[in-house]
Chain A
Amino acid sequence: MDAAALKTRRKRRELILQTLLVVAVALIVWAAISTAQTKLDELNMTSGFGFLERATGWAYSFSLIDRSIDDSYSRTLLIGFMNTLFLGLICIVLSTILGFAIGTARDARQLGLNAVATVYIQLFRNLPLILQLVFWYAVLIHMPGPRQAYSLGDALFLSNRGMMLPALNVSPLVVLGIFACLVLLGFAIFRIKSLQFLHKLGLWLVASIGLTLTLASMFAPAESSMFSLPVQKGLRFQGGLTVSIELVAMILAITLYGSAYIAEVVRGGLHEVPSGLTEAGKALGLSSRSIWFHVKIPMALRTIMPPLGNQWIFIMKATTLGVAIGFSDLFYIVSTSITQSGQTLELMGLLMLFFLLINYSLAQIVNFINARLALKGH
């Protein structure tokens, strides 16, 4: 037999094997679905997504938009989805910033700085996240109550109910608009080639504040202040923005834990940068800041990015711990919905779908950044 015939045979064999695999997977999935269907019918349990339109009848601790016990299950699930996304994004941003700082400190030559960073990483990386979360929550809820809240200039309050911050006196839609403007502004400024990174950052911050104030004064309702300040009234604070203590605890715990991991990733990345490059920078008389910004980080990012993406996905998944302390993330909403409505399989399916959606998108973003970072020609 000649080589071509052997090749065709091998191809055919591979094709058959792959077809068999696909058929087997399809069969297993079909069997699982049909078994579930028969069992549900036997137990007289209703299945399907009709319950999504029913009112839930229960309340929960946190939402970005208006909520009520008359909300349908679909709206409640949407709120859970938004809460998870909101919490996850905040934690990703904060722990990435903190992680880069700690990782750099770990790579530093100064003994003191290095030791502090090492202790930080070992402490937060080696304790289970749920334990840290329950610990921080216990600490936070033992702060004074709303009537004895710590206050800063009567505008910012901290109590065991949460953080009460001054807010802009505009509708959530306007806030979203302002936020979008700031992001666009950021992109515009960072495209300016002639400025240094820190100068760009400073410019963006100043411009952002100016823009926000202008827009807020334009959209604030007539004859009322541009800001809404929290004022203690009866059992609660009215006005301003209340960040519930559960959210604070979640952000704190996940950020500390996540940043310890990211710091190790960053340290590893910085370590990979050939020492010759840093030495060359020194020989050119660059400051250590310039070396970090223009030599080490651009080189290290290529090694940092893939594991960093994994950490981001991990942080997203860590939001599901909210159920332990009463923070209404998506998992919490789904698990309460299951006990209250009994639609276990449907809700579990939705939960998986939502997380797949979030984390798959995140992975795509990371892949995109990776592709942009890749050295041309490699």
Chain B
Amino acid sequence: MATSIAKIACAVAFAAGVAAPVTAFSKSATVTEIEERGTLLCSGHNGSYFGFVEVNDKNEWKGLDIDMCRALTTAILGDPDKAQIVPLSWAQRFPALQSGDVDVIIKATGWTMGRDTEVGLQFSLPYFFGGTQFMAHGDLGITEAKELDGGTICVEAGTTIERLAGNYLKTIGVEHTMVSYEKASELRAAYLANRCDAFAAWGPFLAVLRATELEKPDAHIILSDQLSNEPIAAAMRQGDEEFVDMVNWMIAALLIAEEEGVTSANVEEMAANPPNPKIARLLGVDPGMGERLGIRDTWAREMIAATGNFGEIYDRNLGEGSPYKLDRGLNNLWSHGGVLYAPILD
């Protein structure tokens, strides 16, 4: 019934001379807008948030979140370079999305109830997990928070981390002194001057800081305790479910490609000779992948050719191929001990 109504609607559209693609599925208004504009507006940062959104020495944007933006741009527009990165501070990102200055926020943004409801956002599948952790001076010879007994912990004042760390240390019975600073720069200086034994912050941020910003990375250790786990997802304006589908399947396709071993190197080969029906569907050899989202059937193939699968994106920006060399940890596929999974491609 719905299909026939859609067909009639299409026929009417054609009769009116509107150049709408022949499709039985409704198309996202945001995607249409992006196609008309010819660029996708994605969130950047006011400076570098290393590993995720950073500016390199050639004044180009790079990082895990930037690559996710580029993947989405390739999926919609067929060219990663059509992504336009808009520099935004943390506080600016939600108003900028609401006012249409960006199409999507992909910038280490945690999925919270307040943002989902009061702020009026819609979140995609989580594509990254990171929690609060402690970093301590290596010469203390400790590996877990239990051994911090009697120590001094530095945190940023007025953050959720301040409460998380205090609560956690109390729960495991570690007596400590907490010193909190209003500014991140003072916090870092105090930690480096050994004012505190450990410093609590978002785990991936600590890891990247340790790997690049600190003079001797080996002199600092990230303790094994995970105090929390924040699901990081793309944030969109509420009210365009089709765009949420688009972003969700962009993330899903990157994960499925990794699961199936499709990489930027072998994607053309796989498309020419698909080893199984799932890959054939993913790469658009079997039709349906694009039609259902209102875009090209080969979008995932072009995307993987341009940016690689999720594993490649991770390795390039945070993992072995980056200066940070972070373990995949939780951010691996479920089949490799992580928590990332894709919905079923049928």
How near does chain A come to B57, taking the closest CB pair, in angstroms? Answer: 30
Interface status of A303 (Cβ within 8 A of chain B): no
Interface status of A275 (Cβ within 8 A of chain B): no
Which of B197-224 touch A at CB < 8 Å? 197
Given contacts A233-B150, A235-B140, contact A326 B170 (CB under 8 A): no
CB pair A236–B151 under 8 Å, yes or no, is: yes
How near does chain A come to B265, taking the closest CB pair, in angstroms? Answer: 49
Interface status of A241 (Cβ within 8 A of chain B): no
CB pair A235–B178 under 8 Å, yes or no, is: no
CB pair B186–A325 under 8 Å, yes or no, is: yes
How near does chain A come to B74, taking the closest CB pair, in angstroms? Answer: 40
B186 partner residues in chain A, CB cutoff 8 A: 324-326
CB pair A61–B180 under 8 Å, yes or no, is: yes
For the side of the interface on B, what is the size category? 20 to 34
Binds B, one of A88-96, A138-146, A265-273, A351-359: A138-146
Interface status of A335 (Cβ within 8 A of chain B): yes
CB pair B157–A336 under 8 Å, yes or no, is: yes
Interface status of B91 (Cβ within 8 A of chain A): no
CB pair B148–A69 under 8 Å, yes or no, is: no
How many Cβ-Cβ contacts under 8 Å join chain A to chain B? 87
CB pair A323–B170 under 8 Å, yes or no, is: no
B167 partner residues in chain A, CB cutoff 8 A: 57, 69
Q: Which of B140, B190, B194 has the most CB of A within 10 A?
A: B194
Interchain CB contact (< 8 A) of A160 among B158, B178, B195: B195
Which of B158-198 touch A at CB < 8 Å? 158, 162-163, 166-167, 170, 176-182, 186, 189-190, 193-195, 197
Interface status of A339 (Cβ within 8 A of chain B): yes
Which of A123-163 touch B at CB < 8 Å? 138, 141-142, 145, 160-161
Interface status of A340 (Cβ within 8 A of chain B): yes
CB pair B166–A235 under 8 Å, yes or no, is: no
Specify the chain B residue showing the minimal Cβ separation from A332: B157
Given contacts A57-B167, A61-B178, contact A235 B150 (CB under 8 A): yes
How near does chain A come to B175, taking the closest CB pair, in angstroms? Answer: 9
Q: How does the 8 Å CB contact mask read for A175-201 relative to B, with 1 for contact and 0 for none? A: 000000000000000000000000000
Interface status of B149 (Cβ within 8 A of chain A): yes
A349 partner residues in chain B, CB cutoff 8 A: none
Which of A317-370 touch B at CB < 8 Å? 323-326, 332, 335-336, 338-340
A245 partner residues in chain B, CB cutoff 8 A: 195
Q: How does the 8 Å CB contact mask read for B125-152 relative to A, with 1 for contact and 0 for none? A: 0000000000000001000000011111
A58 partner residues in chain B, CB cutoff 8 A: 162-163, 166, 178, 180
Which of A256-271 touch B at CB < 8 Å? none
Q: How does the 8 Å CB contact mask read for A26-70 relative to B, with 1 for contact and 0 for none? A: 000000000000000000000000000000011111000000111
CB pair A141–B190 under 8 Å, yes or no, is: yes
- Determine the distance from Cα of A339 to Cα of B162 in the docked complex, in whole angstroms: 11
- Determine the distance from Cα of A58 to Cα of B169 in the docked complex, in whole angstroms: 11
- Determine the distance from Cα of A108 to Cα of B193 in the docked complex, in whole angstroms: 42
Specify the chain A residue showing the minimal Cβ separation from B175: A236
CB pair A246–B179 under 8 Å, yes or no, is: yes
CB pair A234–B149 under 8 Å, yes or no, is: yes
CB pair B152–A161 under 8 Å, yes or no, is: yes
Given contacts A141-B195, A142-B193, A235-B197, contact A61 B179 (CB under 8 A): yes
How near does chain B come to A162, taking the closest CB pair, in angstroms? Answer: 9
Question: Can you name 7 A-B residue pairings with CB atoms under 8 Å?
Answer: A57-B166, A58-B163, A59-B177, A235-B140, A236-B151, A245-B195, A326-B190
Beyond A59-B180, A161-B152, A335-B157, 19 additional pairs, beta carbon < 8 A: A59-B162, A59-B178, A61-B179, A61-B180, A68-B170, A69-B163, A141-B193, A141-B194, A145-B194, A161-B195, A235-B140, A235-B148, A244-B177, A324-B182, A326-B157, A335-B158, A339-B157, A340-B158, A340-B162
Contact surface of B with A, Cβ cutoff 8 Å: 140, 148-152, 154, 157-158, 162-163, 166-167, 170, 176-182, 186, 189-190, 193-195, 197
The 9 closest A-B pairs by CB, nearest first: A339-B158, A59-B178, A236-B150, A235-B151, A141-B193, A141-B195, A61-B179, A69-B166, A235-B150
